[in-house]
Structure 1
Amino acid sequence: MGDVTIDAPRENAPSAEPVPFASPAARPGRPWVEEPVAYDAVLLAGFGGPEGQDDVIPFLRNVTRGRGIPDERLEEVAHHYRHFGGVSPINEQNRALKAALEKEIARRGLDLPVYWGNRNWAPYLEDAVQEAAAAGDTTLLAVATSAYSSFSSCRQYREDFARVLTATDLAGTVTIDKVRQFFDHPGFVETFVEGVRGAIAQLVSDGYAPADIRVLFSTHSIPTADAERSGPRDRDFGPGGAYEAQHLAVAEVVMAEAAPEVSWSLVYQSRSGPPSQPWLEPDVNDEIRSLAEAGVRAVAIVPLGFVSDHMEVLWDLDTEAMETAEEVGIRAVRTPTPGVDPAYVSGLVDLIEERLRGVPAADRPHRTALGPWFDVCRPGCCENVRAGFKPAASGVAP
């Protein structure tokens, strides 16, 4: 893979349009907020997941709301959850992450409660924001459980913040800022470096030469039209937009540190759109089959696009991809997600402190040429091709 060397702009001039639903420091629309902000609390924003068989279809209705997908089609996805008793691991993982964040925040002497709310299942964001407001915590800093830039991984969270504040009549009382996308923060990247290093060592000890091994960095596929619109619209990130460029940049850093002698590629998983709609490729299963035909004997699958063992990791990687590898005679191992790794948790609290102290952009740690990413999303960032622009917090309109 070639180097990704797109530099983030370093100017910090205010935008002509203010940022809605934001703290006074973020409201002018500068890319980075370089002044201290006295946040009252942290809002941990998750995707959500069912916690029993009866929850599965209602949860999937929430995920696909507004798209008119009948229950019969939802049931095609529901069997992934039903295979695990109707329980997604994501809520329990967020409970563990919330506890880990609270512990690290307390260790650093920061007086910040952590409220947790989901987009698609209980506890909902509405409940978390109302709970915070009732406690007098009205200046919130959000940490979303997604590291990269795209509609579903960033802007949709920001739209939900705006929707919740409007629906609860708290828009004039509560403000929500958001930490920058953390795809290249050292705490996030280090967990994957250690995972790849361990996987390669395991495969080599089992008798596989580095030339026989491929590392597959896997992330959630998205429609190519959405990928093209990910990130700021005034920059050319290539055909896959900022979403693909960010993954490629992180993968290069990981491989340079963990296994520079091993070949690698970026693959995609969990496609859910109609066959007529182009999505990012190649699919992880197709790539495994192609590698087998090329004589590759072992693969290390790295869930680079995921912060914990979501259902997509348990089903699409641990189940389907492993079955594909076995069918074609390839040895496959899967590296860990960050989960509650101390380096990852510490990195998230670093991002919180960054905003509490107003750290200048030039002093913010980042592992790729793309960073540090913006505190305040830029105009037109990560448009939803199907629905257009809706009101969103933590970014310059639209």
Structure 2
Amino acid sequence: MPTDPSTPPVDAILLVSFGGPEGPDDVLPFLENVTRGKPVPRERLLAVAEHYQHFGGKSPINDHCRALIAALRVELDAHGVSLPMYWGNRNWHPLLPDTLRAMRADGVQRALAVFTSAFSSYSGCRQYQENVAAAQAEVGEGAPVVDKVRPFYNHPGFLGAVVERTREALATLNDDERGRAHLLFTAHSIPTAMAATCAYEAQLVSAAGMVARALDAASHEVVYQSRSGPPQVPWLEPDVCDHLEALAARGVGPVVVVPIGFLSDHVEVLWDLDEEARLAAERLGVRFVRAATVGTHPLFVSALRELIQEGLGQATPRVLGDAPALPARCPPGCCAYAPQRPARL
């Protein structure tokens, strides 16, 4: 999404997210959008559809986006940023092309986008930029220019919100359990070939370490969840459920799972952690507690406001740790990825 000094000033904020079904009838059309162009067997689609139907056919991600926009609106207004806000999704309504058309009709010329991903990767950043570019091409003449805020895995507000959510989970344990609690930071697995093109793993390890140190945790690790794709294509490991078995064998526990790679409690969190991982832990006799995602925690909402102000030239970047703030404009080839084989659910 290149820009140059001749582009107009930012006159809108755009939240860009994955999207999710709003009801039972939306589930299969949504999954077909997600897998379009990929040879995913129909039976696999139906199996994943059952995960959504388990929760009434509605993904919480949409309501999260609405709540986040509402909270961010209040935060921006309180700091004198009165730009209009829009929302567009990759895979379900409101779809990005429709949102850009509405923005064009409203006279928006240049927007600053916030992607619902804190970490750098093809699927979490570059692909969203490609989605925006494709939507701009579909809309055609007059489509708004779209810039983006920087990746924010090391922003103090994001990390502070993760710390507070984890502290809330630890508070459900007794004193002895808290002293022994093992933190398992989870994030969406990605193909190792994708991971080789970006700093995803390193950023996760860094962020998890800073959160664990802030809590004076006894021990912690980074694990992965929600892998998809054919088994012959390697993805990041260990898987959270597999790792619970290893922890049980070592007598480690209780376990506090911290979904640091996710911003909201959507279906992959609710199913893969609250259903599958929790049941695995119960079967293994491991005490299991899950921390909430950052959601609309005030520290996180404040962080997004700061990132927007950075993009407007109204704030200086803040970070925790030794790594600098990443640039908002990605260098050429950043997080480029060509899949070895078409991905599957």
What TM-score do you get using the length of structure 2 for normalisation?
0.94
Q: Hey, what does 1:181 align to over in structure 2?
A: 151
Q: Give the match for residue 283 of structure 1.
A: 239
Q: After superposition, where does 1:1-398 map in structure 2 within 5 Å?
A: 21-25=1-5, 38-170=9-141, 173-205=143-175, 207-208=176-177, 210=179, 212-230=180-198, 242-260=199-217, 262-357=218-313, 359=315, 363-386=316-339
Letter in 1 for 2:313: R
| Deviations 1:213-240 (CA, angstroms, capped at 9, x unpaired) | 211000000110011112xxxxxxxxxx
Q: Distance in 1 between matches of 2:203 and 2:306?
A: 20
Whichever residue aligns with residue 293 of structure 1, its letter is A
Higher RCO structure, 1 or 2 (CA under 8 Å, sep 6+) = 1
| CA deviation after TM superposition for structure 1 residue 192, in Å | 1.1
Q: Which moved more, 1:366-375 or 1:47-56?
A: 366-375
1:23–1:139 contact (8 Å) kept in structure 2 = no
Q: Determine which structure has the larger helix proportion and give its number.
A: 2
The 8 Å contact of residues 26 and 177 in structure 1, kept in 2 or not, is answered as no
Structure 1 CA distance for aligned equivalents of residues 159 and 186 of structure 2: 14
Rounded Cα–Cα distance in structure 1 between residues aligned with 2:6 and 2:239 = 39
Alignment check: 8 A CA contact 2:26 2:57 kept: yes
SS of match in other structure, 1:91: helix
CA distance in 1, matches of 2:152, 2:145: 21
Task: Report the aligned-residue RMSD.
Answer: 1.8
Question: Using the alignment, how far apart are the partners of 1:298 and 1:113 within structure 2?
Answer: 45
CA offsets per residue over residues 224-279 of structure 1, 9 Å max, x none? 0011112xxxxxxxxxxx0000000001110111124x111000000111111100
The 10-residue stretch of structure 1 (95-104 or 39-48) with the greater mean CA deviation from structure 2: 95-104
Equivalent AA in structure 2 for residue 193 of structure 1: V
Secondary structure of the residue aligned to 1:357 is coil
Structure 1 CA distance for aligned equivalents of residues 108 and 340 of structure 2: 32
Structure 1 counterpart of 2:34, which letter? Answer: V
Q: Distance in 2 between matches of 1:131 and 1:330?
A: 50
Percent identity, please.
49
Counterpart amino acid of residue 213 in structure 1: A
Q: How many correspondences in the alignment? A: 341
Q: In structure 1, how many angstroms separate the alpha carbons of the residues matched to 2:308 and 2:5? A: 15
Q: Residue 202 of structure 1 aligns to a residue in which SS?
A: coil
Does the 8 A contact of 2:21 with 2:27 survive in 1?
yes
Partner amino acid, structure 2, of 1:123: P
Unaligned stretches of 5+ residues in structure 2: none
Q: Distance in 2 between matches of 1:78 and 1:173?
A: 34
